[in-house]
Amino acid sequence: MKSAGPVADGWAREDLEALSAKGLRRVLEPLDSPQGAEVRLGDERLINFSSNDYLGLAASPAVRAAAVSALERYGVGTGASRLVVGDMVPHQQLEARLARFERAEAVRLFNSGYAANTGILPALVGPGDAVFSDALNHASLVDGCRLSRARVVVYPHADAGALARALADTPARRKLVVTDSVFSMDGDVAPLRELVEACEAHGAALMVDEAHATGVLGPRGAGLCEALGLEDRVDLRMGTLSKALGGLGAYVATSRAVADLLVSRARPFVYSTALPAALCAAAACAVDLVEHDPTLRERLWGHVHRFTAGLRVLGLPAEARSAIFPVILGEPARAMDAAKRLREAGLLVKAIRPPTVPEGTSRLRFCLSAAHSTDHIDLALEALRRVGVSRVQS
């Protein structure tokens, strides 16, 4: 009997050839430096505009010191899920710290944003229920909707009116609306106030993924819900530890009852080995910095406004809504070529292609950080001008 290996290998080779022909094959490029405004990739030293490290905390000395201290006390791994023997004091401390930060009754930790979104939705809804999802929601929310086995209703991007009509027209035992607050590929924000009103009018729960807003938006950095004063009107707010907070993991801020239910129902929580204690300590330190040092956000938003103005001078559409700026080029080959030319100019700006974004919208995705200098921002704008990206219309 033949082994399965050569058969699967043939499948893989066939699929890789098809991906390559479409310009959609991915490759890994390991950094040989910490995350930061400048990184080392092989022999190249590049200005990094592709990281979600919005506040520059991934390599923060204070955050690293907190991780090292916990590493020495608690070791590397946790050995089990939190429901067995993997629950440690730093997990409990971080959940309590995040609950204060989010001004929520309770917080539940997850190992990643993907684990959170694919665990929370199936824990709350199932057959006989309906989930209403923005058309441009992150893949983790899309997969969470599918795994829930509830009816999935996709409403047009950021269209609160269409959502309200769908809520009115869809019979279901329970109705749950899910949306990103900041959309990761376009950098725009959800019409959150209108979504809240639609949910309240139709008895629906609302879950907001704040992954790209945590640390960036709001007077204390708690996200779009805080910025709009809607914390008490949103049922679940998912935040991440891996972007502006510089580490790894995610959490959901919610009621005590929902948090307790997730301990028994959220499969990624129940069946995953717990986050290392060192990462929990690092995240707690990062939350302190975010909440008590507004200069980090002020610096980031200074860059956002500077970059917005510069893109407009180049004839590119831009709004100061978040730290994410797409430059849409159309076909994958065009985006890959632009990324290559920017790299030759010393900038690391990754091309984003389908299926991450819709067909025909391949793009460069610039992510700004408080770690950047104004010189970095100006160099990026000059590089865009020199490579001719300014002539491309989105």
Same domain, 227 and 116: yes
Indicate whether 301 belongs to any domain.
no
Same domain, 131 and 203: yes
Residues forming the active site: 184, 212, 243
Q: What share of the chain is helix, strand, coil (3-state, %, to 5)?
A: 45, 15, 40
Q: Looking at 269, 292, 315, which one is the last position of a domain?
A: 292
Same domain, 136 and 209: yes
pLDDT at position 244 over 60: yes
Distance CA 71, CA 340 (A): 39
Indicate whether 334 belongs to any domain.
yes
pLDDT for residue 3: 53
Please state the rounded mean pLDDT for residues 355-364. 93
Q: pLDDT of 195-216, one tens digit each?
A: 999 999 999 999 999 999 999 9
Indicate whether 169 belongs to any domain.
yes
Same domain, 121 and 252: yes
Indicate whether 268 belongs to any domain.
yes
Q: pLDDT of 222-238, one tens digit each?
A: 999 999 999 999 999 99
> Using an 8 Å Cβ cutoff, are 197 and 170 in contact?
no
Q: pLDDT of 170-200, one tens digit each?
A: 999 999 999 999 999 999 999 999 999 999 9
Residue 355: asked if its preceding bond is cis (omega within 30°), the reply is yes
Confidence class for position 55, pLDDT limits 50, 70, 90: very high
Look up the domain containing 351 and give its range.
25-54+323-387
Q: Residue 179 is part of a domain; what is its CATH number? A: 3.40.640.10
Q: Scanning the structure block, which residue is given the tokens 């376009």? A: 186
Indicate whether 20 belongs to any domain.
no
Q: Scanning the structure block, which residue is given the tokens 């098809």? A: 18
* Angle, CA 393 vertex, CA 392 and CA 394 arms, to 5°: 120
Q: Looking at 248, 271, 292, which one is the last position of a domain?
A: 292
pLDDT for residue 1: 46
> Using an 8 Å Cβ cutoff, are 31 and 238 in contact?
no
Same domain, 161 and 110: yes
Average pLDDT, rounded, for the chain: 95
Same domain, 82 and 174: yes
Q: What is the DSSP string of 330-392?
A: ESHHHHHHHHHHHHHTTEE--EE-TTSS-TT-EEEEEE--TTS-HHHHHHHHHHHHHHTGGG-
pLDDT at position 52 over 50: yes
Same domain, 139 and 255: yes
Q: pLDDT of 281-305, one tens digit each?
A: 999 999 999 999 999 999 999 999 9
Indicate whether 173 belongs to any domain.
yes
Same domain, 41 and 65: no
In the chain, how many domains are there? 2
Short-list 302, 141, 290, 140, CA closest to 218: 290
Same domain, 251 and 113: yes
Distances (CA, A) of 183 to 44, 137, 301, 364: 31, 7, 17, 15
Same domain, 250 and 357: no
pLDDT for residue 392: 45
> Using an 8 Å Cβ cutoff, are 262 and 269 in contact?
yes
pLDDT at position 394 over 90: no
Distances (CA, A) of 65 to 59, 252, 283, 315: 10, 26, 11, 44
Indicate whether 17 belongs to any domain.
no
Same domain, 186 and 167: yes
Q: Looking at 274, 292, 310, which one is the last position of a domain?
A: 292
Indicate whether 216 belongs to any domain.
yes
Same domain, 88 and 223: yes
Please state the rounded mean pLDDT for residues 23-52. 94
Q: Residue 49 is part of a domain; what is its CATH number? A: 3.90.1150.10
Q: pLDDT of 106-121, one tens digit each?
A: 999 999 999 999 999 9
